[in-house]
Structure 1
Amino acid sequence: MNYLVSNFIKAVSVPVILIFALFLIVQNGMLDLTVWQELLTQTPMLLFIGAIVVALRFKQSRVIYILLFLLLSWALFVEIDHFKYLNFSPSLWFLSQLFILVLFTFDQNKTIWGRHGLIRALIILAVILVNYRFNQSITLHQFLNTEFIADLHLGGMTQIELVLSVLALLMLAVKHILSPSKTVLNTWVIAFFLVYFKLIDAEVLTHLIAFSVFGLLLIQGVLTDSYQMAFSDELTGLSARRALLQSSISLGKKYTIAMLDVDHFKKFNDTYGHDVGDQVLKLVASKINEIKGGGKAYRYGGEEFTIVFPNKSVNYAIPYLEQVRESIAIYAMTIRDNNERPDDSKTGKSQRSKNDTSSKVVNVTISIGVAEREGDLKDFDQVMKQADEALYRAKQAGRNCLAE
Structure 2
Amino acid sequence: MKAVYIPVILIFALFFVIQNGMLDLRPWQALLKQAPMFLFIGAIVVALKFKQSRVVYILLFLLLSWALFVEIEHFKYLKFSPSLWFLSQLLILVCFSFDQNKTIFGRHGFFRAVIILAIIMANYRFNHSITLHELLNTELVTGLKLGGMTQIELILSVLALLMLAVKYISSPSKSILSIWIITFFLVYFRLIDAAVLTHLVAFSVFGLLLIQGVLTDSYQMAFSDELTGLSARRALLQSSLSLGKKYTVAMLDIDHFKKFNDTYGHDVGDQVLRLVASKIDDVKGGGKAYRYGGEEFTIVFPNKSVHYAIPYLEQVREAIASYAMTIRDNNDRPDNRKTGKAQRSKAQSRSKTVHVSVSIGVAEREGELKEFDEVMKQADEALYRAKKSGRNCLAE
Q: TM-score range by the shorter chain?
A: over 0.9
Q: Could you give the per-residue CA deviations for residues 352-382 of structure 1, whole angstroms, max 9, x where no partner exists?
A: 5986433210001111111111121110001
Match of 1:146 in 2: 138
**Is 1:36–2:28 an aligned residue pair?**
yes
Residue 246 (structure 1) aligned with residue 238 (structure 2): yes
- The code of the aligned residue for 1:237 comes to G
The one-character-per-residue Cα deviations of 1:168-224 (angstroms, maximum 9, x if unpaired) are 000001100000100000000000000000011111111111000000000111111
Counterpart mapping for 1:256-275 below 5 A: 256-275=248-267
Match of 2:295 among 295, 298, 303: 303
Deviation, 1:290, is 1.1
Q: Pick from 325, 350, 370 the counterpart of residue 378 of structure 1.
A: 370
Secondary structure (helix, strand or coil) at the match of 2:147 reads: coil
Counterpart of 1:327?
319
Residue 344 of structure 1: how far off its partner (Å) = 10
CA distance in structure 1 between the aligned counterparts of 2:28 and 2:39, rounded to whole angstroms: 16
- Deviation sequence 1:252-286 (CA, Å, 0-9, x none): 11111110010111110121111111111111001
In the aligned structure 2, how far is the partner of 1:212 from the partner of 1:160?
28
> Could you say which residue in structure 2 is the equivalent of 1:4?
none
Q: Is residue 313 from structure 1 mapped to residue 305 from structure 2 by the alignment?
A: yes
Amino acid across the alignment from 2:117: L
In structure 1, C-alpha distance between the alignment counterparts of 2:296 and 2:335, rounded to whole Å: 34
Tell me: CA distance 1:324–1:352, structure 2 relative to 1, closer, same or farther (3 Å): closer
User: Which residue of 178, 183, 203 corresponds with 2:195?
Assistant: 203
**Aligned match for 2:102, one of 110, 115, 128:** 110
Residue equivalent to 1:185: 177
Residue 18 in 1 paired to residue 10 in 2?
Answer: yes
CA change 1:27–1:136 in 2 (3 A) is same
Find 2:113's aligned residue among 100, 112, 121: 121
Letter aligned with residue 178 of structure 1: S
SS in 2 for 1:82: helix
User: In structure 1, how many angstroms separate the alpha carbons of the residues matched to 2:185 and 2:11?
Assistant: 9
Q: Secondary structure, in 3 states, of the residue corresponding to 1:309?
A: strand
Q: 84, 92, 105: which one pairs with 2:76? A: 84
Report the AA paired with residue 155 of structure 1: G
Q: Distance in 1 between matches of 2:202 and 2:388?
A: 62
C-alpha distance in structure 2 between counterparts of 1:356 and 1:312, whole Å = 44
**2:380 equivalent among 375, 384, 388:** 388
Tell me the distance in 2 between the aligned counterparts of 1:389 and 1:51.
47
Paired with 1:30 and 1:140, the residues of 2 have a C-alpha distance of 38
Deviation, structure 1 residue 343: 9.4
Deviation per residue, 1:276-323 (Å, 9 max, x gap): 111111110011111122211100011000011111121221121111
| 1:3 aligned partner | none
Unaligned runs of 5+ in 2: none
Is residue 94 from structure 1 mapped to residue 86 from structure 2 by the alignment? Answer: yes
Cα distance in 2 between the residues matched to 1:241 and 1:139: 59
- 2: distance between equivalents of 1:342 and 1:147? 50
Deviation by residue 1:124-152 (Cα, 9 ceiling, x = unmatched)? 01100111011111111111111111111
Shift in alpha-carbon separation, 1:306–1:208, aligned structure 2, 3 A:
same
Q: What is the Cα deviation at residue 14 of structure 1?
A: 1.1
Change (3 A) 1:355 1:386: closer
Contact 2:347–2:353 under 8 Å retained in 1: no
The answer to whether the Cα contact below 8 Å between 2:19 and 2:194 also exists between their aligned partners in 1 is no
Identity %: 80
Per-residue deviation, residues 205-255 of structure 1 (Å, max 9, x unmatched)? 111110000000001111111111111111111111011001111111111
Report the 3-state secondary structure (helix = DSSP H, G, I; strand = E; otherwise coil) of the residue aligned with 2:74.
coil
| 1:32 Cα offset (Å) | 2.8
Q: 5+ residue gaps in structure 1?
A: 1-6
Q: CA deviation at 1:22?
A: 1.5
Q: With structure 2 as the length reference, what TM-score do the two structures score?
A: 0.95
Aligned-partner residue type, residue 323 of structure 2:
Y
Output the aligned Cα RMSD.
1.8
- In structure 2, the CA distance between the partners of 1:209 and 1:374, relative to structure 1 (3 Å rule), is same
Paired with 1:84 and 1:342, the residues of 2 have a C-alpha distance of 62
The residue correspondences of 1:60-71 to structure 2 (distance < 5 A) are: 60-71=52-63
1:168 pairs, out of 152, 160, 172, with: 160
2:215 to 212, 219, 223: 223
Runs of 4+ in 1 over 3 A off after TM superposition: 27-31, 342-346, 349-358
Shift of 1:31: 3.3
Q: Among 29, 42, 48, which residue is 2:40 paired with?
A: 48
Amino acid aligned to 2:218: S
CA distance in structure 2 between the aligned counterparts of 1:192 and 1:318, rounded to whole angstroms: 49
TM-score, normalised via structure 1 length: 0.93
Q: Partners of 2:204 and 2:159 in 1: how far apart?
A: 25
Q: Which amino acid aligns with 1:34?
A: R
Provide the residue aligned with 1:75 in structure 2: 67
